[in-house]
Structure 1
Amino acid sequence: MLYEVIEAKRKEQNITRSKLCKNVCSPSTLYRFEKGELNVSLDIFTKWCEKLKIENINLISTKMYLNELNQFDIAKEAIYYNDFESLEYLINSSPTKKNSYFFTTKLHPWMCAVYYFNIGEIDKSKTILKNICPHTKINSFFDFNVLNSLALVYILNKEWYKAKEILNKCINNSYFKEISDINIEMKVKYNLAYCHFYLDNIYDCIDILENLVYLNKKNTHIFMMGKIYYFLYLCYKKLNNDKIFREYLKLAYFAFYIEDPQSIYISKNIIPTLKEEGITIHI
């Protein structure tokens, strides 16, 4: 939990509550936070992190309460694993305290849009996403999540150029170069590769995917690695490079198997493809 991180770092550096809270808040606020009794605004939490030199906690540069930040983390995990029952539950459960402006205008609508997208209500999802980021303007790190979701709407509708334009806008934005959330960086680049694939820019697609392999090896998202390897299989299959595409298909299988041997993705996608290519896997 976040309050445990703050308390541990403070004690490790032998910093008193009074010193940490100077020009930030009252020491009693920190005391109650460390005991798990109080949520604080993201502004206060960020200032604590700066004083403690904590750099590896992914924060959003806006005013949001920590229970809402935790909801964002849970939502991302649910989306990563396609667990939309958990996402629906999260949408319908409200924070215990008054919602922040950010939660009301961005985070909650975005979760709803992602949910609608995955139950097939595409137009409703698109409308919500465009309302969150009018004119696809990027004002914070969070907006990359919104625009990536909007790009997926265009991809589903086979509007490749619109999706490509949005994704390139994300990648070329100065915020994106400073992003600390490897998940959204990989999603944006993966979806851009998808656009290149369907626009027959196969070598551009491969360049992006190979960059993602490098990024992912440093961060070990095994399920995502499986998706990247499978995508590379499709690319080299399209180029009729038999030796390479067979290797990537095997790597995709092993990645998905390590993540979850009972994965539906394996049974529905990988195993039928292995049989089609005449490849036998021995575990």
Structure 2
Amino acid sequence: MDQDYERRLLRQIIIQNGNTVPCVSEMRWSERGNLVAVGTHKGFVQIWDAAAGKKLSMLEGHTARVGALAWSADQLSSGSRDRMILQRDIRTPPLQSERRLQGHRQEVCGLKWSTDHQLLASGGNDNKLLVWNHSSLSPVQQYTEHLAAVKAIAWSPHQHGLLASGGGTADRCIRFWNTLTGQPLQCIDTGSQVCNLAWSKHANELVSTHGYSQNQILVWKYPSLTQVAKLTGHSYRVLYLAMSPDGEAIVTGAGDETLRFWSVFSRTRSTKESVSVLNLFTRIR
């Protein structure tokens, strides 16, 4: 999406919110890329038609900020500081809460649907990682091994039921789980806060972004957990991570107010190390 398009969409969001900028706490594109879900600090979720720049609906139900959103086809899940997870089918008017999931004792800060859309993983500031299915209002699995908030969550596209999660500053670990059996698998101490996780589409590898104290980006081979790349350049914690549609590049955003583009994964593996991590679309291998 070009910058002019994004600016027009942002302008419409401002205008339709009474010419005041809503305190946006989370945004998430739908899987088809035609809708944008916007979570606000006041607990509302807005659904926007991106092409038309039009707000389609305003979803109520939360009583505090919405910090986590996850799409599963036409289903939208939202997690809030009110400790609730709400699931709605956006095709069904009026857009009321379809399911209310309560299992966390503190803010829900991470949500991610499995690649087959059958399981939802949620992470909370209570250090818990919960797994939910479509038929139960209670979590089918609870993992309590993390020692800090669980915001980073990623389902493997290569191995059915494999889930990765990362803990905050007091934990620093990436943990792997077999959600088919409920068994914990590997764990590695990364040495710093885990902010984001994303699996490669082309190889059995995982990228992680980090905060205090190293503010780095790491690439791991699974299941050996060998570190195959280390990217440095950000001076503050790397809060945001997005994968390109072709699965070859990532973009990271940090508290240093910079965006950096990295060519991390490739269909044709390159072993050449980059001489600079500051260039646009730096290739690291």
TM (normalized to structure 1)? 0.29
- Higher RCO (Cα < 8 Å, 6 or more apart): 1
- Decide which structure has greater strand share: 2
TM-score by length of 2: 0.29
Structure with greater helix share of residues = 1
